[in-house]
Amino acid sequence: MNRNIVLYPYFQLCRSLLFWQAAWFLYFESIVTAGEAILLAAILDLSTVMVEVPSGYFSDYLGRRVTLAIAMIANITGCLLLYGAGSFEMFAFAQILLGAGSAFASGTDSALLYDSLVAEQRQDEVAAQEARSWRFTYGALAVSAAAGGLISLGSVRPAYLLTAMTAFCGLALVCFFREPPHPPGQAPAHAPLRQIAVVLKRVQDRALLWIFVFAVGAYVLSHVPYVFAQPYLKETLAKAGFAAETPFVSGLIIATMMTVSVIAGAGVLALRSRIGTIGNLMLAMSMQTGLIMALAFLVHPAAIFLLIVRMVPDALSRPLILEIIHPRIESGYRATYLSFQNLFGRLTLSAMLFVSAWFAAGTDTVNEETLRTILPFYGTTGIVLIVLLSITARRSLKAL
C-alpha cells in the first residue's frame, strides 16, 4: 500500500497535464457558434453527471484500480478524437468521453489514497497527503498551460495529442497500483439501490450535509471563471489590439494561476490553525464569488490579472473537505458518496450553463455584453450561498 501512496501524486501529475486547457473554448468557437461552444462545455459536465454515481458504485464494488484504468482510457480516446474532430457532433462525442473519464476518476482517486493510508495505519495524514498531491496536480496544470498556450498559437490540435500521450503515462502508473484491502469490520458495497440509500442516509449527518452543500456550491463557482476565461481574455485583449495572442496569454495566466495555487495550498494547514476550518472554507467561497463579480464589471485588460487567483480557493478548501468526509464514510461507500457529491456539483453547473447558452443564443462569439449579462447571475448565486452557509455554520461547527 505504501507504493500506492508514493505513486499517487505522480498519477495525479500525469492526468493533470492538460495542454489543451489554454485554448479549448477558442478552438470550439473557431469551428462552431458561441452557443454551441457553451453547450459543449455543458455536455462535458452533463456526461460526467450521467456516469458519476454509477462510476462511484463501480469503484466501491469492483475496485479502485480497474476504475482508474477505465478513466484514463476514456481520457486518451477523447483527446485523440478532439485531435481530429471537425464538427459539433464529433466534439460532443469526444466531450462525452472526457466527461466519463472525469467521472470514473473523481472520488476513486481520493478513495484509493485514503484506503491505502488506512491499510498503513496512516489515515491521520490524509489532509497532508492531499495537499501534497495538490501541489503535483497544479504544478502539472501550470506547466501544461504555459506550454499548451504556446503550442496553440499555431493550432490547438497538437495540444490534444500531447495530452493523450501524458494520459497514457497515467494509465501505465495505474498498472503499478495495488488494490487496497477492504478494512475489517466494514461492510462491502451493497446492491446499487441499497448503496444509494446508505449514502443518502449518511448525508443526514450535520457535518456532511453542510460540507455537501459547500462542495457543490464551490464546484460551480470555481468552474464559472474556467468556462468564460478565454472569451473574457479575448474581449479584453482585443481592446489593446492583441486578440490574436489570446491562446498564449491564456496559457501564461493559467500557469501563473496554478503556481499561485500551489503556493497557497502549501499554507492551507497553517491557515486552518489560525482561522479554523469553517473560516477557511468561507474565505475560499468569498474569494470565488468576489472574482466572478469583479470579472463581470471589469472587462478591461488590467483586470485579467485577477484570474491568477482563481484556483486559490480550491487550494484552501479541497484538502479540508476531504478531511471532513473520509472518516465519516466507510470504505464500501466512500467512492459512491464522493461521486454522489460530484454529481450534484456537475448537474448544477450543467443546468446553469444551459441557461447561459440561452443568453448567448444568436451570437457568433461570447462578447462583453454577454459576459456582463451572464456573470452577475453566478455572482449573486454565490452571495446568497455564502449568507446561507454562514447562518448554518455555527450549528455545524461542533460536528466539525
| pLDDT tens-digit readout, 273-313 | 888 888 889 999 999 998 888 888 876 666 677 778 888 88
Q: What is the DSSP string of 297-309?
A: H--SGGGGGGGGG
| Grid cell 476514456 in the structure block, residue | 74
Least confident of 65-69, 116-120, 395-399: 395-399
Answer whether residue 111 shows pLDDT above 80: yes
pTM > 0.75: no
Q: What is the pLDDT of residue 360?
A: 63
CA 150/CA 248 separation, integer angstroms: 5
Residue pair 54/77 in contact (Cβ under 8 Å)? The answer is no
> Mean of the pLDDT values across residues 340-361?
76
Q: Which residues of 135-162 are buried (b: 16+ CB within 10 A; e: fewer)?
A: bbbbbbbbbbbbbbbbbbeeebbebbbb
Q: How confident is the model at residue 193 (pLDDT cuts 50, 70, 90)?
A: low
DSSP code of residue 10: H
At residue 267, φ and ψ (nearest 5 deg) are -105, 10
Q: How many CA atoms lie within 13 A of 71 on its CB side?
A: 32
Answer whether residue 164 shows pLDDT above 90: yes
Least confident of 24-28, 168-172, 225-229, 275-279: 225-229
Q: What is the pLDDT of residue 241?
A: 74
Helices marked H in 16-63 — which ranges?
24-29, 34-62
Question: Which amino acid appears at position 271 of this protein?
Answer: L
> Mean of the pLDDT values across residues 30-35?
76
Q: How many other CB atoms sit within 10 Å of the CB of residue 186?
A: 12
Q: What is the pLDDT of residue 384?
A: 93
> Mean of the pLDDT values across residues 67-79?
94
> Mean of the pLDDT values across residues 108-123?
88
Choose between 202 and 140: higher pLDDT.
Answer: 140
Q: What is the pLDDT of residue 69?
A: 94
Q: What is the mean pLDDT of the chain?
A: 82
Q: Which of 100, 129, 88 is nearest to 4 (CA)?
A: 129
Q: Which of 222, 205, 221 is nearest to 324 (CA)?
A: 205
Least confident of 9-18, 56-65, 240-249, 368-377: 240-249
Q: What is the pLDDT of residue 268?
A: 82
The whole-angstrom distance between residue 399's C-alpha and the CA centroid of its chain comes to 27
Q: How confident is the model at residue 186 (pLDDT cuts 50, 70, 90)?
A: low
Choose between 399 and 252: higher pLDDT.
Answer: 252
> Mean of the pLDDT values across residues 382-397?
85
Q: Of the CATH numbers 3.40.1790.10, 1.20.1250.20, 3.30.360.10, 1.10.3720.10, which one belongs to the domain with range 2-180+190-397?
A: 1.20.1250.20
Choose between 95 and 368: higher pLDDT.
Answer: 95
Answer whether residue 138 shows pLDDT above 90: no
Burial class (CB in 10 A: 0-12, 13-18, 19+), 359: middle
Residues contacting residue 28 through CB under 8 Å, at least 6 positions apart? 36, 37, 40, 91
Answer whether residue 195 shows pLDDT above 70: no
Residue spans per domain, the chain: 2-180+190-397
Q: How confident is the model at residue 397 (pLDDT cuts 50, 70, 90)?
A: low
Q: What is the pLDDT of residue 283?
A: 92
